[in-house]
Structure formats: C-alpha cells, structure tokens
Structure 1
Amino acid sequence: MKKKVMVFGSFVVDLMARTPHLPVAGETVIGSLFKMGPGGKGFNQGVAAHKAGADVTMVTKLGKDLFAEVALDAMKTLEMDTSSLFYSEEIETGSALIMVDEETSENKIVVVLGACSAIGDKEVESISEIIEESGYLLTQLETNISAVEKVIDIAKKNGVKVILNTAPVQPISDVILKKVDIITPNEVEAEILTGICIDSQESASKAADWFFDKGVKNVLITLGSRGVFIASESKQEIIPAYKVKAIDTTGAGDAFNGGLVAALADGKDLWEAARFANALAAIAVQRLGTTPAMPTRKEIEEFISNN
C-alpha cells in the first residue's frame, strides 16, 4: 500500500537568468533568457514527489503578496492540496535570484527566504495529525531550524520515517541527527558536516560512519555526475548516474530527493528508490528551471526502460 508523504520546507519564487558566463564581482553580463516560476528546495521536492506519483502534503509558508499566487497557481495546476499552507501578514514570500551559465550549466544563487523562515511552533502543532498519518517526512534546512526540529520530533514520536536533506548546509544538532532515518547530503555538504573530503568510496564510507555515530540510520551522499553513494548498516554501494547532457543543474538535488521519497512511499527498497531518483534527476537536468523541470511518473518509467 502506498504511504502518504509530507514535504515540509521552503517556497520561493525563482527569478532565473541564463548568461554566456557567470559574472565576476563588479561585472555586468547581458543574459540570453529570463524565467520566473515556483521554486525553493521544499517546494521543488514536493512537486517532484507529487509528479512522480506520491500522495504528497506540501507544507510551507507564504506572504500575502503577488509571489504567493505563483505557489498557489502552480499547486492548483498540478492538482496539489493547498490546505496545509501557512501565511504571514508581515513577511513577504521568499525569492531566489539564479544565474545559470549556458555553457557549463553551473549556477550562482541568492535566496531570500522570507515567510518560510518564520514558521512558528503553533503552526507546526496544527499539522500534527497530518504528520502522524504520513509514512514519510521529507524536510530540508531552508526554513527556520526551530520548525525543522519540531516537525522531525513529532514525526519520530509517531513512527514516521524521517528523510533530511541537508541543504542549504548549516550545523545540525546531534538531537536532530539521532532522529533521522535517511540523510541526503551532497558531497560538499557531507564534507562540511563531517570534515571528511568526499573524493572516493572509502572517504564516503568514513563520512557515513560519522553520521552513523550520530544515530542516523541510512546515508545517501549525492555525487553529481558520478551518482549516489548509499550506506546502510549492512551494505554500501555507489549507484552510477545516468549519462545525459545537462543544460541546467539547478534543482537536481531536489529532483533526487523528491524521487527518493516517492519511490520509498511506493514500497521500493532504498537501493531501488535511489535508482528511481537518479532517473528523475537525469530528466530534470535536461530541462530549464526547477519545478517546471520535474518529470511525470510516466516519463520516469519510460526513461528507465530506455536506459
């Protein structure tokens, strides 16, 4: 039976420009394309999971402004439930300024989190029943940490599996880590958190041991074009990435995390789920943008069958 998924995290409006090269300090570059659309790590992951077939409750916080309508319009178009959104009367909806190098697909991003950085304890308590009914909680570090701590605590007390994506990277308390079932840093985040440079499977294994010592049950370290390193207490493996021509890597990690939780909720084991997530991310990086780049379940299945 498919389990419900709660994605708790950020929403920002992405303001994306493609440019021949990323500007250096003091340089103005004439861009070739501009797009505005829904984004934020939490929202991207929620949409990715929803389009991949998961039964998703998306929880984030918006302002009372025009940018909030970007979130609502996207959710209504995708037929996502909007009943668990919070609103701030005082703080604006978040935004992200994104520059993408059209030659290398590398990016630079500035995020102003706005309302989703001010989710209160009472707001989290108001969704306790929805958390309890979920099979999986997927969250990140792009909302205020106090809210992340509280939602993880409620999930853990009710037997809900907790997946923590450690982006944007910042210190995480041992109290949080010991409640995490699956942690999903990329290689840079893993190095910052553990102090171990991830340049081989051996070093990834050492980083995984650091997380295990903190009480984390399973470790997935995404390695970009090299794939993903997975470690449980009994098994370790690098699952290679699909070889594709990336045109925009913005949101690739979000695509992976959304695919991972969707596959787990559908009953796949961790290894199968990681392969599914790799496929979702491989499709997404061949498209422009973040949320708009996320593929449907049918597209993912067709991609896997053809590769």
Structure 2
Amino acid sequence: MDEKRRAKIAVLGSINMDLMIRSAKLPLPGETVIAETKVENPGGKGANQAVAAARMGAEVKMIGCVGDDSFAEELLQNLTAEGIDTRYVTRKTNTTSGVAVVMVVASGENAILVVPGANGLVGSVELEQARQVICDSDVLLMQLEVPVETVIAAAAIAREAGVPVILDPAPAPAHFPAELLDVDLICPNQSEAAALTGKPLAALEDVIAAIPALAEQGPRQILVTMANQGAVLFDGESVEIIPPFPIQAIDSTAAGDAFAAGLAVKLSEQATLREAALFASAAGAIAASGAGAQTAMPDREQIETLITKQ
C-alpha cells in the first residue's frame, strides 16, 4: 500500500459505557465482595476496535447505535476525539446506550456483564446508510455485540463488493448460524474457539487439532488467540504458532479488541497474515499491560517498538 494512503476500515459493532470495578477477587454465586475502585470509561467491542485502529493510523468509520440517555453524547464525542467518523452512528429514541459492567482482579482476569441497549437495534437502517462506506473500505471489521442477523447482512454487502471481512466472534452466541462464519478471517480466543467446536481447548495442541473443524464452518483463515501461550494461525493451507510477547498483564479487557484492530490495519496495508498476526499480538500485549479498554489501546509507534525489541 502507498505509505501516504491510510487504511480505510469500517467497523460495525457495539458502543458502550464501561463501568470498571476492581476487586481482590471475582464474586462467587451468592457472594458479596467489597470492591476497591470504580471508573466509568467509553467501551464496547466495536468502539474499542475502532479506537485501536484509529490510533494505529487507519481512517475509521463507525457503524452502530447509541441511545437517548446521558451517555450518548459522551460516547459520540469520545469517538470523534479519536478521529473516528461517527456519521453512521444512529441515535435511537426511547432506549439506553449500551452499558458494560467489567469486574477486574489483580491478575488481570475479568468478568463482564453487558446491557446491549441501543446496540441491539443496529439493523437494516444502519446498513443502508453505511452501504457505500462498507463497499469503499479496505476491510469490514465486526464483532457479536450487535444482532447476528445484522452481522450476516453486512458481511454479504462486503462480500458482494469484494471487501474482506474480519469477524471477532465475541461474545460467543449459544448457536452459530452457518452463514455467520462465511467470512475471510475469524479471530476467536480459546474459549470462543471452544464454543465453535464444542470441545475444550486448553493447550496449543488442542487448538491445532481443532483447526480443521473450525475451517469446515466457513472462514477462509483463522487466528485463535491463547493469551500467554501466543496464537494459532491458519492461512488456509498450513498452521503456524505465533509466539507471545512477554508482558506483565494488568487488565486483559481490551487485549482481544486491540488484536482484532491490529489484524484489520495490517491486512488493509497488504501485509501477510503472519505479519498481521505479529503486529496484532504486540498490540494485544500492550493493551493487556495497561488499565481499562480504550485507555489501554496502543498507538503504532508503541507496537512497532515492541516488535523490534522481540
């Protein structure tokens, strides 16, 4: 890609306000735990990935919905401040914006509860408004915090226009419709890959063995992230292990979103899948070493510096 030309990425996905709660441990069923701190920050998988891609230098257009509550304007202003085009974000009346409660413990592990709100209303109206944006993009990047049928319809628009589709299949639904995975690349984590295959995938060897079952479901290429074990790459022909970047994890909330954005940006720049995976892994590692979601997203210089040091 011409160095003067920025990657053009359309992100279809959720826009949330995150309520981040830190505590010494996650509560068990029926247990009350006294937390340490509470912070509100813009989030949502779609918005997180849009912010990450923008910080990596891409030209990003966000497609989604917010509500008519007090969070809506703050969420839109936040995206605009990151240089993201929000003209394709609809404000829905008589509903709230999406809200996520993120519980984080000292090890960096987290548990998340999501109220979809306006995200659950992303549909045909938004797709028609953004049809040309999708068709003009280098990559369409999506997740599953908006209706599955909307994701499928958007992928069909992109496919007809010859635009590559990257799907981060998170959160994993109880059932994956067959057409949902008819995309160019999926980037599940190991629990999402386990949901796709119906088998536990604890080790790299488990994921490698599961690649044929994943590929049978439709995606042309696959990248399964395995936290501190690295990632497993399938380029349509062969399998390769992408080693992890050594970092001290503080909060893994945004790691997967940074990873997905890194893939989208580098593939838009005509990188190989392996090159994109290394860039994405570095982005995810840096994000996990910071606190919060969008606040932890790295810029391109940080990512390239880490890769150089590896």
Q: 1:49 matched to which residue of 2? A: 53
Q: Are 1:22 and 2:40 an aligned pair?
A: no
Q: 1:193 matched to which residue of 2? A: 196
- SS where residue 71 of structure 1 aligns? helix
Aligned residue pairs, count: 305
**CA offset at residue 235 of structure 1?**
1.9
16-25 or 38-47: which moved more? 16-25
Q: Are 1:161 and 2:174 an aligned pair?
A: no
1:141-189 deviation line (CA, Å, top 9, x unaligned): 11011211111110111101011111000122222323x0001111111
Q: 2:42 matched to which residue of 1? A: 38
Q: 2:91 matched to which residue of 1? A: 87
Distance in 1 between the 2:87 and 2:299 partners?
A: 23
Distance in 1 between the 2:10 and 2:120 partners?
A: 18
1:188-207 deviation line (CA, Å, top 9, x unaligned): 11111112332444432332
Q: Are 1:267 and 2:279 an aligned pair?
A: no
Distance in 2 between the 1:245 and 1:175 partners?
A: 38
Alignment of 1:201-220 (within 5 A): 201-220=204-223
| 2:204–2:226 Cα contact (<8 Å) kept | no
| 1:54–1:266 Cα contact (<8 Å) kept | no
- SS where residue 96 of structure 1 aligns? strand
Normalization by structure 1: what TM-score? 0.95
| 2:62–2:88 Cα contact (<8 Å) kept | yes
**CA offset at residue 212 of structure 1?**
2.1
Distance in 1 between the 2:190 and 2:235 partners?
A: 17
Instruction: Flag the 1:82–1:122 CA change in 2: closer, same or farther, 3 A.
Output: closer
- SS where residue 16 of structure 1 aligns? strand
| 1:12–1:93 Cα contact (<8 Å) kept | yes
**CA offset at residue 224 of structure 1?**
1.0
1:97-128 deviation line (CA, Å, top 9, x unaligned): 111112x2211111001001111212211211
Q: 1:150 matched to which residue of 2? A: 153
**CA offset at residue 26 of structure 1?**
3.2
Q: Which runs of 5+ in 1 are unaligned?
A: none
Q: Which runs of 5+ in 2 are unaligned?
A: none
| 1:226–1:240 Cα contact (<8 Å) kept | yes
Distance in 1 between the 2:40 and 2:126 partners?
A: 29
Distance in 2 between the 1:290 and 1:189 partners?
A: 19
- SS where residue 170 of structure 2 aligns? coil
| 2:267–2:273 Cα contact (<8 Å) kept | yes
Q: 2:176 matched to which residue of 1? A: 172
Q: Are 1:72 and 2:66 an aligned pair?
A: no
- SS where residue 91 of structure 2 aligns? strand
Q: 2:283 matched to which residue of 1? A: 280
Q: 2:141 matched to which residue of 1? A: 138
Q: 2:225 matched to which residue of 1? A: 222
Q: 1:291 matched to which residue of 2? A: 294
Distance in 1 between the 2:109 and 2:89 partners?
A: 32
Distance in 1 between the 2:288 and 2:203 partners?
A: 24
Distance in 2 between the 1:283 and 1:33 partners?
A: 22
| 1:242–1:279 Cα contact (<8 Å) kept | yes
1:10 counterpart (14, 18, 21): 14
Give aligned-pair identity as a percent.
39
- SS where residue 88 of structure 2 aligns? coil
1:212-261 deviation line (CA, Å, top 9, x unaligned): 22331001111111111001222211101111111111121111101111
Instruction: Flag the 1:276–1:125 CA change in 2: closer, same or farther, 3 A.
Output: same
Q: Read off the aligned partner of 1:288 and give its amino acid letter.
A: A
119-128 or 206-215: which moved more? 206-215
**CA offset at residue 266 of structure 1?**
1.9
CA RMSD of the aligned region, Å? 1.4
| 2:68–2:92 Cα contact (<8 Å) kept | yes
Normalization by structure 2: what TM-score? 0.94
Q: 1:122 matched to which residue of 2? A: 125
